[in-house]
Amino acid sequence: MTRSTPLDLEQSFDKLYRENLRPLFQYLFSRVQDIHLAEDLSSETFISAFESLNRLKSADKFKPWLFTIARNKANDHFRRLKRQPTLELDEEITALPLQEQAGNNNQDQRVLVQQLFARLKPAEQELLRLKLVAGLTFKEIAILLKSNENNVKKSYYRLLERLQAQVE
């Protein structure tokens, strides 16, 4: 593994931008549920990343570092609003028991998934967003969360098992 210098990263920033823009935007949109705000936060994230490239020690840690910046931007946004992100669901739908919502069509399944997701702890929601929405690897998530890769894997698969049990 070769160590990249900040100059190398600056020269390849355009490529890194193109590779990471879509997953970063999708991740931020899943957090804020507003397309324009997600675009703004994505821009702010890349600007901050570019301005701080000299702090990055290795190019292979760029993606988790970038998503750390994005998480912080989203958290700052919610702090400013003095509220946490929530999925907006129809009150009548969220009041129904899970069994009544589990139907055969896609809309029923989507509502069920949204309700299950909304009931998760913020850290569990974040783990699913990073893995399923942003497409980060377990190694990248571990770096981002400052955790052990095996612990991240265990948490992820246990969470999936728990969700599967709730669906059945």
Tens of pLDDT, residue by residue over 150-162, are 999 999 999 999 9
Angle at 155 between CA 150 and CA 160, to 5 degrees: 125
Please give the model's pTM, rounded to 2 decimal places.
0.73
> pLDDT tens digits, residue range 98-121?
444 444 456 776 777 788 888 999
Percent of the chain with pLDDT over 90: 57
CA distance 43 to 63: 15
How many Å from the N-terminal Cα to the C-terminal Cα in the chain?
45
